[in-house]
Every structure is written in C-alpha cells, then in structure tokens.
C-alpha cells in the first residue's frame, strides 16, 4: 500500500471516475482508466442540448481538493433560488438560503467531465482509454474483461485493485449480484414517474428567454417541469410525469396535438418559450427514475464500487454528482490514514460513507414530492418563509434542511437529514398548533425551533428510532 507504484484500474471515466483518476494520479498511483464511450472532448455535442447538473458545496469541496476550483467556477451559472411558475404564469422567486453567499450552480456535465479528463491526463501515471466497454469483472482474480468498440476485440486487464465508477448500470455491481458468491444486499426502486428532456432555446440575439439565475419549477402536484440555464443562453428543460396515472401521462402523450394541449393547459408560459416543444418531445427518449442501494461495495481488497455504481439516486436534491464527488473526498481521507491494506481501506470507506449515501438517496425521493407538490402548499410556504428569516437573521445559528444538505459540506448527509427532518417537523407542528406564526418575533421563533428540534431528536433517540 505504501508502494505508490500499485496499479489501479478504474472502470468508467464519467464525472466520478475522472475525478478519482485525477486524485489518485496526484497521489502517485499508476492509474489506468477504461471508458466505454468515445472521448467527449473530440465528439461533437450540441451545446444547447447538453445536459446540465446542479453543482454545489460538496462538489466544490472536491474541486478544491484537486486544485481546480477556479477552472470549474468559470463553467458555473449561479442559481440563487427556485423560480416558481403557477398556472396563470405568475412567478415567485424562493431563494435557496437566507444567506446571500449560499447558492447552487448550473453546470454542463460534458464541460466539467472534459475538464476533469484533461486535468487527470496531465499526470504521466494516469492513462485513459476510450471506446473500451467493460463486459464483466472477475472479482476473485481482480481482472476485468473489456471489448474494444471499434475492433470488437476482447481483452483482459489485470490490476492490484479495481474501482468501478461505471454508473447506475455498473458491470461490477452486476457481477456481485449475479454470481452469488457472497451475501449481496441490493435494491433498485423505480418512481412511478419518468422524465423527458426538452429545451428553451436562446432568443434570436442569444439572450436567455427567462430569468437566468434560478432553477425554474412549474409544480403541478402530480407532475412538474423544471429548467436549468446553460452558458449559451438556452435552458435544459425536464418534464417529470407519471407513466400511467393521471389525465395526462407518458403513456397517453402520443400525438403532437395532445402534447400541445397538455402544455397549453398546464404550462402556458413555458410553452410560449418553447416553439420547439413537439420536436423535442418526440425526438427525445422518456427515461425512468431509479434509486440503487447495495452492500457490500467491495469484495475483499480486490474491487470497490464508487459513485453511481454504489448509490444511484433520483435527481431531485441536485446532489447526484455532488455525492459522487464527495465519495472521492472521503476516500482520499481514508487513504491519508495509511491503513495498510486495500481491504481495510475499502471496509473503512464503506463504513463511514454508506450511511450518508443512503441518506441522500432518501432525501432525493422526499424532495421529488416536495418539489412537485409541497412547494405549492400554504403550510410549507409559511415554513419556508420562517426558515429564510431565521437564516437571514441568524446566519451562524440556523440552517434549513436544504442548507444543511447543500451548503454544509462539513457535516454528513445523514446528520443533515436527521437534523433537517426534525427541524421541519418542529416548525410544521408549531405552525399547525399556532405555537408560532410568521408574524412572531424571529428571535423567539429561533428559541422555540431549537428547543422543539432537540426534543424531537431526543424522543427518537429514547425510542431507539434513527
């Protein structure tokens, strides 16, 4: 282990894999990476249609670790809050935090991935191969079988250890599951809803057609549309909708007429910005939304799952990429401990990390319901108003659940979830019982929220609940 000449094979050069390659390269390991897709830096991807992601403090912590914070900042579009759009076209900006310096960012997946690849390849001890698809992993022998996309040749690669960052459909995870050589706990949970990407193109002079610095949401109870800005003036729009339930669903939106009718009725102000709606709708696929959890992530000291391969989550907390980047930060901290063997490193990593990735998976599903539904309910709006005031008036003393998850990268997701849920429960119940109201003195509210939150956490602890 102390021997940095160890050969580490990384499967997948997506966001997590390329960051991991960069960091392990910085640490002096011999790193070889195989990616099934072509090199996205030399493949034409239409900028206006590139998928964007929410990038926030946990992700930025990783960028600081590898020293590219400034380069990433140049790719970011700050989003200060949610811009809510009602059916009448009224808009209402709900900031993500009462602290002005706390916001999330829209970033292009491909631009960020390209940057990480380029930074990783600056290290002579890092090699990245594209168009090589992993077929399976022999986790007993620590070898992986690849197929070359162009030649169709198959070849086996050997390593001291293999780390799979090959995403939600991980080849290593499939090998763990199907080979049944050890007790592998596994779950895949699909939402009733799927998603489809659409777009708001730039205006003729290249400007943004709606407010740039927000994550736009059209919440409609059982479904919603969101939009995130791109650097070229466009927005990537996503429709989240049930496959089978409700008056309109993916199964019955089968003609341009019905699709247009649905948007006219539910999202008239969005439709105005999207003359390209019907083309987008029928050109782009409908994709499912799933959560994957599993354990163990590692097999002995041979193989390890990291990023989406270990914990794929739904996108509603904007934490998928940030969680995967934080994986690398946590893994890096474990490496600093000089634990001696890969087995001990992998075991320790999973022990400290899994509780947090389980938590963000659950929070992301919760937020699906919050975004499409709760944001439109009076009691949740009152809670949000109180929390904004608490954060503005007591920036050092109060953080909402959203802030704990998104802007408090020094605490884990699980702690953020437990404290955040207790705070939500405290505020909602005190509002319902008229113990507090939005017109009360904010210092008095803070005291009550703190006291009630502690009482809730203590009650759960005594009852043996988590």
Interacting residues toward its own copies by CB under 8 A: 183-190, 243, 288, 290, 293, 369, 374, 421, 424-425, 428-429, 432, 459-460, 462-465
Beta carbon nearer to its own copies, 220 or 383: 383
User: Minimum Å distance from CB 431 to its own copies?
Assistant: 8
190-to-165, 297, 314 alpha-carbon distances in Å: 21, 21, 9
Q: Which spans in 129-255 are helix H?
A: 171-179
Q: Tell me, what DSSP letter sits at residue 378?
A: H
Residue 64 neighbours by CB distance under 10 Å: 13
Question: For residues 395 and 401, what is the distance between their CA atoms, to the nearest angstrom?
Answer: 14
Cβ burial of 193 (10 Å; 0-12, 13-18, 19+) is buried
Question: For residues 157 and 155, what is the distance between their CA atoms, to the nearest angstrom?
Answer: 7
The answer to whether the beta carbons of residues 328 and 316 sit under 8 Å apart is: no
Beta carbon nearer to its own copies, 64 or 466: 466
User: Minimum Å distance from CB 193 to its own copies?
Assistant: 11
Beta carbon nearer to its own copies, 92 or 186: 186
Q: How many helices (H) and strands (E) does the chain have?
A: 14, 19
User: Minimum Å distance from CB 378 to its own copies?
Assistant: 13
Beta carbon nearer to its own copies, 52 or 367: 367
User: Minimum Å distance from CB 425 to its own copies?
Assistant: 4
User: Minimum Å distance from CB 183 to its own copies?
Assistant: 4
Specify which residues 133 forms β-bridges with.
Answer: 147
User: Minimum Å distance from CB 462 to its own copies?
Assistant: 5
User: Minimum Å distance from CB 291 to its own copies?
Assistant: 9
Residue 131 zone, left/alpha/beta (φ > 0; ψ -120 to 50; rest): left
Beta carbon nearer to its own copies, 332 or 370: 370
Beta carbon nearer to its own copies, 71 or 374: 374
The answer to whether the beta carbons of residues 218 and 266 sit under 8 Å apart is: yes
H or E stretch including 305? strand 303-305
Beta carbon nearer to its own copies, 211 or 380: 380
Q: Which residues contact 139 (CB under 8 A, 6 or more apart)?
A: 162, 172, 175, 176, 179, 181, 299, 300, 302, 303
């Amino acid at each position: 282990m102390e021997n940095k000449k160890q050969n580490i094979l990384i499967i997948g050069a997506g966001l997590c894999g390329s960051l991991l390659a960069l960091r392990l390269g910085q640490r002096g390991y011999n790193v070889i990476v195989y990616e099934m897709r072509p090199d996205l830096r030399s493949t034409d991807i239409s900028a206006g249609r590139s998928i964007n992601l929410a990038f926030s403090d946990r992700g930025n912590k990783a960028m600081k670790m590898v020293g590219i914070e400034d380069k990433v900042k140049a790719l970011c579009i700050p989003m200060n809050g949610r811009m809510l759009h009602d059916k009448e076209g009224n808009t209402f900006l709900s900031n993500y935090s009462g602290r002005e310096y706390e916001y999330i960012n829209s970033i292009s997946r491909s631009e960020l991935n390209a940057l990480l690849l380029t930074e990783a390849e600056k290290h002579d001890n890092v090699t990245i191969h594209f168009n090589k698809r992993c077929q399976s992993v022999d986790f007993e022998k620590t070898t992986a079988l690849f197929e070359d996309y162009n030649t169709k040749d198959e070849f086996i690669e050997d390593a001291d250890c293999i780390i799979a960052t090959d995403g939600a459909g991980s080849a290593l995870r499939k090998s763990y599951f199907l080979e049944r050589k050890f007790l592998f706990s596994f779950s895949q949970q699909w939402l009733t809803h799927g998603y489809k990407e659409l777009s708001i193109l730039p205006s003729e002079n290249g400007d943004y057609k709606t407010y740039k610095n927000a994550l736009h949401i059209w919440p409609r109870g059982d479904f919603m549309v969101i939009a995130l800005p791109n650097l070229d003036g466009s927005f990537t729009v996503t429709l989240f909708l049930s496959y089978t339930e409700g008056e309109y669903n993916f199964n019955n939106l089968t003609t341009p007429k019905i699709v247009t009718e649905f948007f006219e009725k539910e999202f008239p102000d969005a439709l105005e910005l999207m003359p390209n709606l019907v083309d987008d709708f029928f050109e782009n696929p409908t994709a499912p939304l799933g959560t994957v959890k599993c354990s163990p992530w590692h097999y002995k000291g041979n193989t390890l799952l990291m990023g989406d391969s270990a914990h794929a989550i739904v996108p509603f907390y904007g934490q998928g990429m940030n969680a995967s980047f934080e994986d690398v930060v946590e893994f890096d901290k474990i490496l600093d401990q000089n634990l001696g063997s890969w087995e001990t490193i992998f075991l320790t990593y999973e022990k400290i990390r899994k509780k947090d990735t389980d938590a963000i998976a659950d929070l992301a599903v919760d937020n699906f319901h919050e975004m499409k539904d709760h944001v439109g309910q009076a009691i949740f709006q009152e809670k949000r108003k109180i929390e904004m005031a608490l954060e503005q008036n007591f920036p050092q003393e109060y953080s909402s659940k959203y802030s704990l998850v998104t802007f408090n990268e020094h605490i884990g997701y699980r702690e953020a979830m437990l404290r955040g849920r207790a705070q939500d429960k405290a505020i909602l119940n005190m509002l319902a019982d008229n113990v507090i109201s939005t017109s009360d003195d904010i210092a008095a509210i803070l005291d009550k929220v703190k006291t009630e939150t502690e009482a809730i956490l203590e009650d759960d602890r005594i009852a043996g609940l988590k």
